[in-house]
């Protein structure tokens, strides 16, 4: 088995096999992963990270594929994390985002990794950010993270990367799709995809009218018409991404924002773990705690109070 | 520490029939595995690179065109060359019995011919994982 230091060296030197192994460690919650991430973290790294979200079938993977090609053309090493939902029943997952990106499978300057969301614990918020950090350490810039946006997931993805790109498509329910609470606030760039297929005016009107509801102070995101099929709008899309990136994370603010995102992700995981182990200590596990609620001895909120007290007593 | 079994289902060669590949992919998903499917007409090089980046435990190849004697060993060699010696290989498709020993020689631990129930593949994977530990 390799030492953590050897792993770190391998990742920094651009060895794909080592990076792939480290990504697995992170996903599986291997205790050595935190040591590795600590060793690799370079506060001055400036890689751009992009979260890509939107409904299934909107063309997220196809758009990412176009962006890979664009940045490869500029000589950049591009990283992609493609997260698909895990089945809540079997825990398994069919990871198919790569199908749209396989033209880059033999390009040594492109690293694509598919991930199952694995429920919330190992899902979006925790190990996804850690995986992103590994890609940054390996020299990928930009790194894109694709996640299916259903419900809360868009809001989660916004706390993952420097910028969030929301991909929408024309179709029934344009208004509903764009009115969903939170979506408009979290998007830094809105892509109206499938511009080759029509229905764009209607969608754009719907999007712009929901954007009017966004408080002025936080700045309205640019809206770009795009076709992943024809490539139409690609230059403009990249231009908007770079503009937003330099206004939102330019210079030292980028490093600050990244450190904040990573710390938040660490806190989420640690907080959950510490609270869960307290519940284990006090009740003998989640199931036992639930039994206690069902017997009317306490409530989930009561357990929350107990946690407050027990953490308060410790310091 | 939760360890998920990761499997790449690859379709090398020129045939465009992926019903079998998708069927197996879904069955493995339903058995709790993470299955990466990359679509039809993949070059051996693309399959091998994908296997490495995805850090899979298994690569299953599916082929109906009859080019297995040529393509399967090529994928096996490329995966080994790229450092994936511990990745376990299996194959499926229309493969005559007399070709199987040669493929086993090339590193394929199992070959599933048409009509094999998906549960056999699941069982094979679980068995191999046990031996590995
Ligand atoms: N006509 C058209 N189809 C597209 C476009 N982008 C993606 N598609 C198709 O939409 C489907 C879903 O695309 P995919 O990228 O997998 O979407 P995702 O689920 O959001 O990742 C596929 O059949 C794509 O070929 C586009 O710009 N125009
Ligand atoms: Mg996708």
pLDDT in tens, B39-52: 888 999 999 999 99
Q: Which residue of A has its CA nearest to B47?
A: A105
**Residues A72 and A206 placed together within one structural domain of the fold:** yes
Give the predicted TM-score (pTM) of the model. 0.90
- Contact between residue A2 and residue A10 where contact means Cβ atoms under 8 Å apart: yes
**Residues A170 and A84 placed together within one structural domain of the fold:** yes
Q: Which domain holds residue A35?
A: 1-41
Does residue A120 lie in a domain region?
A: yes
Does residue A281 lie in a domain region?
A: yes
**Residues A134 and A216 placed together within one structural domain of the fold:** yes
Peptide bond into A142 cis (omega under 30): yes
Cβ distance of A92 and B33 shorter than 8 Å: yes
**Residues A48 and A20 placed together within one structural domain of the fold:** no
Domain count, chain A: 3
What is the pLDDT, as a whole number, of residue A15?
Answer: 95
Does the ipTM exceed 0.90? yes
**Residues A216 and A88 placed together within one structural domain of the fold:** yes
Residues A268, A81: Cα–Cα separation, whole Å: 20
Does residue A29 lie in a domain region?
A: yes
Q: Which residue of A has its CA nearest to B40?
A: A99
Centroid of ligand 2 to alpha carbon of A119 (angstroms): 18
**Residues A296 and A179 placed together within one structural domain of the fold:** no
Nearest by CB to residue A93, choosing from B29, B43, B53, is: B29
DSSP-based helix, strand, coil % in chain B, nearest 5: 45, 20, 35
**Residues A35 and A48 placed together within one structural domain of the fold:** no
pLDDT by position in tens, chain B (length 133): 568 999 999 999 888 888 889 999 999 999 999 999 988 889 999 999 999 999 999 999 998 888 888 999 999 999 999 999 999 999 998 899 999 999 999 999 999 998 899 999 999 999 999 987 6
Atom of ligand 1 nearest to the CA of A146: 21
- Contact between residue B5 and residue B58 where contact means Cβ atoms under 8 Å apart: yes
**Residues A109 and A189 placed together within one structural domain of the fold:** yes
Per-residue pLDDT for A315 more than 50?
no
Does residue A16 lie in a domain region?
A: yes
Mean per-residue pLDDT, A116-121 = 71
- Contact between residue B103 and residue B68 where contact means Cβ atoms under 8 Å apart: yes
Helix (H) or strand (E) holding B111: strand B108-112
Mean per-residue pLDDT, A221-233 = 96
**Residues A277 and A148 placed together within one structural domain of the fold:** no
Does residue A255 lie in a domain region?
A: no
**Residues A165 and A306 placed together within one structural domain of the fold:** no
Residues A156, A221: Cα–Cα separation, whole Å: 18
What b/e string do you get for A122-161 counting C-beta neighbours within 10 Å, with b at 16 or more? bbbbbbbbbbbbbbbbbbbbbbbbbbbbeeebbbbbbbbb
Residues A142, A125: Cα–Cα separation, whole Å: 19
Return the structure tokens found at A168. 């929408």
Which of A86, A70, A143 is CA-nearest to residue A113?
A143
Per-residue pLDDT for A178 more than 70?
no
- Contact between residue B37 and residue A94 where contact means Cβ atoms under 8 Å apart: yes
Instruction: Give whole-number Cα distances, A104 to A50, B87, B88, in Å.
Output: 19, 22, 24
HSE-up (13 A, CA, CB side) for residue A264: 16
Residues A288, A280: Cα–Cα separation, whole Å: 9
- Contact between residue A103 and residue B35 where contact means Cβ atoms under 8 Å apart: no
Tell me the H-state helices in chain B.
19-30, 44-53, 68-81, 100-105, 118-132
Mean per-residue pLDDT, A103-110 = 96
- Exposed/middle/buried for residue B85 (C-beta within 10 Å: 0-12, 13-18, 19+): exposed
Mean per-residue pLDDT, A227-250 = 92
Does residue A198 lie in a domain region?
A: yes
For A43-76, the pLDDT digits (tens) are 888 899 999 988 889 999 999 999 999 999 999 9
Whether chain A has a CB inside 8 Å of the CB on B16: the answer is: no
Write the residue with the smallest CA distance to atom 28 of ligand 1. A194
Q: How much of chain A exceeds pLDDT 90, in percent?
A: 53
What CATH number is associated with residue A227? 3.40.50.300
Which phi and psi (to 5°) does residue A155 adopt? -70, -35
For A132-142, the pLDDT digits (tens) are 999 999 999 99
Q: Report which DSSP code applies to B12.
A: B
**Residues A46 and A14 placed together within one structural domain of the fold:** no
HSE-up (13 A, CA, CB side) for residue B12: 23
What is the pLDDT, as a whole number, of residue A173?
Answer: 65
Helix (H) or strand (E) holding A143: strand A143-147
Question: How far does the CA of residue B75 sit from the closest CA of chain A (Å)?
Answer: 13
What is the pLDDT, as a whole number, of residue A265?
Answer: 80
Nearest by CB to residue B46, choosing from A29, A102, A114, is: A102
Cβ distance of B1 and A30 shorter than 8 Å: yes
Probe site for chain A from B28, B40, B41, B54 (most A CB atoms < 10 A): B54
Whether chain A has a CB inside 8 Å of the CB on B71: the answer is: no
Residues B106, B77: Cα–Cα separation, whole Å: 8
**Residues A96 and A74 placed together within one structural domain of the fold:** yes
Does residue A256 lie in a domain region?
A: no
């Amino acid at each position: 088995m390799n030492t953590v230091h050897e792993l770190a060296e391998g990742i920094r030197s651009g060895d794909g096999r080592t990076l792939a192994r480290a990504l697995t460690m992170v996903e599986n919650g291997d205790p050595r992963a935190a040591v590795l991430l600590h060793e690799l973290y370079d506060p001055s790294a400036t890689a751009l990270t992009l979260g890509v979200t939107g409904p299934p079938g909107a063309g997220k993977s196809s758009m990412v594929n176009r962006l890979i090609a664009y940045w490869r053309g500029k000589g950049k090493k591009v990283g992609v994390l493609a997260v698909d939902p895990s089945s809540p029943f079997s825990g398994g997952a069919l990871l198919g985002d790569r199908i749209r990106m396989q033209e880059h499978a033999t390009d040594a300057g492109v690293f694509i990794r598919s991930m199952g969301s694995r429920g919330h614990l190992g899902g979006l918020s925790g190990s996804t950010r850690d995986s992103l950090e590994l890609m940054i350490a390996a020299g990928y810039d930009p790194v894109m993270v694709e996640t299916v946006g259903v419900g809360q997931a868009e809001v989660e993805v916004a706390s993952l990367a420097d910028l969030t790109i929301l991909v929408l498509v024309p179709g029934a329910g344009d208004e509903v799709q764009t009115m969903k609470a939170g979506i408009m606030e979290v998007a830094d760039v809105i892509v109206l995809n499938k511009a080759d297929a029509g229905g764009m005016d209607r969608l754009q009107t719907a999007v712009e009218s929901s954007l009017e509801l966004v408080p002025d102070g936080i700045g309205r995101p640019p809206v770009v018409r795009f076709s992943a099929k024809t490539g139409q709008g690609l230059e403009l899309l990249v231009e908007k991404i770079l503009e937003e990136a330099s206004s939102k994370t330019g210079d030292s603010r980028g490093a600050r924002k990244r450190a904040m995102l990573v710390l938040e992700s660490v806190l989420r995981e640690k907080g959950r773990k510490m609270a869960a182990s307290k519940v284990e200590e006090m009740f003998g596990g989640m199931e036992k705690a639930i039994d206690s609620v069902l017997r009317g001895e306490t409530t989930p909120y009561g357990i929350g109070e107990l946690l407050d007290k027990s953490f308060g007593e410790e310091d | 520490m939760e360890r998920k079994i990761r499997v790449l289902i690859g379709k090398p060669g020129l045939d465009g029939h992926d019903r079998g590949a998708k069927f197996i992919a879904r069955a493995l998903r339903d058995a709790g595995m993470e299955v990466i499917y990359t679509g039809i007409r993949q070059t051996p090089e693309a399959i091998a690179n994908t296997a490495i980046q995805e850090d899979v435990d298994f690569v299953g190849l599916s082929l109906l065109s009859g080019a297995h004697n040529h393509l399967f060993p090529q994928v096996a060699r490329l995966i080994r060359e790229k450092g994936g010696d511990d990745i376990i290989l299996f194959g499926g498709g229309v493969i005559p019995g007399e070709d199987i020993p040669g493929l086993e020689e090339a590193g394929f631990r199992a070959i599933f011919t048409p009509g094999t129930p998906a549960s056999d593949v699941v069982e094979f994977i679980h068995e191999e994982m046990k031996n590995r530990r």
